[in-house]
């Protein structure tokens, strides 16, 4: 478990990461205004390790989730989250391996790179199967998310993964046996985005029978 401390919150007049844009438009003759932000498209990958019949996820501390799950206090005029009262696992999430589309290569190559960086598997491109695409958000951001399924083996594991240290990523790789995956997904005590939940249900509908017949 990561040790989280000294959490403070401040208004951020000019964020490098969150840059609102104002759209004005007419819809059926009525003038409207909507504030949105442009975010990168992304790829996410459901990884299935066929050697050990496990699904591979990433676990990490997500400040935004911690903020939404914690009680904010005021100490000497400053907003803080006391980690003694708000355990860090409030901000811990289980997610699919993922990355943003910020390189001029194919989506498959970006997905391949993320599987290696985050989870340590060197997966051949032909073991990456396109699942579908969806919108990452529809309110403030509307970027496209493309979902892949990657079949890996223990022999493809070349590192421990964990993300790019220079980028400050602190990611744990978590194996969940397929036999426990459905309970895991439907467990409300586990923080997870709905994309991960969709991918697991998709696996059970499209893949699990195929693999079950082989083990």
Of residues 85-114, which lie at the interface with its own copies (CB under 8 A)?
Answer: 91, 93, 95
Of residues 82, 103, 142, 177, which one binds its own copies by CB under 8 A?
142
| Nearest-10 crossing angle of helices 194-206, 178-186 | 140
**d(Cα 42, Cα 149) in Å, to the nearest integer?**
14
Place of tokens 């504030």: 35
Cα separation values, 147 from 98, 166, 168, 184, 202, Å = 9, 26, 25, 20, 11
Which of 113, 202, 208, 211 touches its own copies by CB under 8 A? 202
Instruction: Please give the residues from 37 up to 96 whose contact with its own copies meets the rule CB under 8 A.
Output: 37-39, 41, 61-69, 91, 93, 95
**Residue 150 CB, nearest distance to its own copies (Å)?**
18
48/206 Cα distance (integer angstroms): 13
Nearer residue to its own copies within complex by CB, 157 or 190: 190
**CA dihedral angle for residue 208, residue 57, residue 44, residue 200, rounded to 10 degrees:** 30
Q: How far is CA 49 from CA 53, 70, 188, in A?
A: 6, 35, 25
Nearer CB in complex with its own copies: 81/156 = 81
Q: How far is the CB of 50 from its own copies (least distance, A)?
A: 22
* CA–CA gap between residue 81 and residue 135 (Å, rounded): 32
Q: Taking the complex as a whole, how short is the minimal distance between the CB of residue 69 and its own copies, in angstroms?
A: 7
Residue with tokens 């496209």: 144
Q: Indicate which single residue of 35, 154, 180, 183 sits in contact with its own copies (rule: CB under 8 A).
A: 35
Residue 116 in the binding site for its own copies (CB under 8 A): no
Instruction: In angstroms, give the least distance from the CB of 3 to its own copies.
Output: 5
State yes or no: residue 183 binds its own copies (CB under 8 A): no
Nearer to its own copies, 53 or 62 (CB): 62
The answer to whether residues 9 and 75 touch, using CB atoms and an 8 Å cutoff, is: no
Binding its own copies by CB under 8 A: which of 124, 170, 175, 177?
170
Nearer to its own copies, 141 or 157 (CB): 141
d(CA 1, CA 31): 50
d(CA 185, CA 172): 18
Report, in Å, the least distance between residue 193 CB and its own copies.
5
Of 50, 116, 144, 176, which one interacts with its own copies (CB under 8 A)? 144
């Amino acid at each position: 478990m990561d040790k989280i401390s000294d959490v403070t919150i401040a208004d951020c007049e000019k964020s490098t990461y969150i840059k609102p844009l104002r759209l004005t438009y007419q819809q059926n003759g009525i003038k409207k205004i909507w504030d949105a932000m442009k975010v990168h498209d992304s790829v996410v990958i459901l990884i299935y390790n066929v050697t050990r019949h496990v699904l591979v996820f990433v676990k990490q501390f997500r400040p935004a989730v911690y903020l939404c799950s914690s009680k904010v206090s005021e100490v000497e005029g400053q907003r803080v989250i006391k980690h003694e009262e708000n355990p860090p696992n409030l901000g811990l999430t289980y997610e699919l391996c993922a990355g943003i589309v910020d390189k001029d290569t194919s989506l498959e190559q970006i997905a391949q790179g993320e599987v290696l960086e985050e989870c340590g598997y060197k997966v051949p491109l032909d073991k990456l199967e396109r699942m579908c695409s969806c919108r990452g958000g529809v309110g403030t951001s509307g970027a496209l998310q493309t979902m892949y399924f990657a079949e890996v083996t223990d022999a493809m594991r070349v590192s421990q993964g964990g993300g790019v240290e220079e980028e400050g990523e602190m990611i744990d790789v978590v194996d969940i046996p397929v036999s426990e995956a459905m309970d895991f997904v439907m467990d409300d005590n586990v923080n997870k985005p709905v994309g991960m939940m969709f991918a697991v249900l998709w696996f059970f509908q499209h893949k699990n029978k195929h693999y079950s017949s082989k083990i």
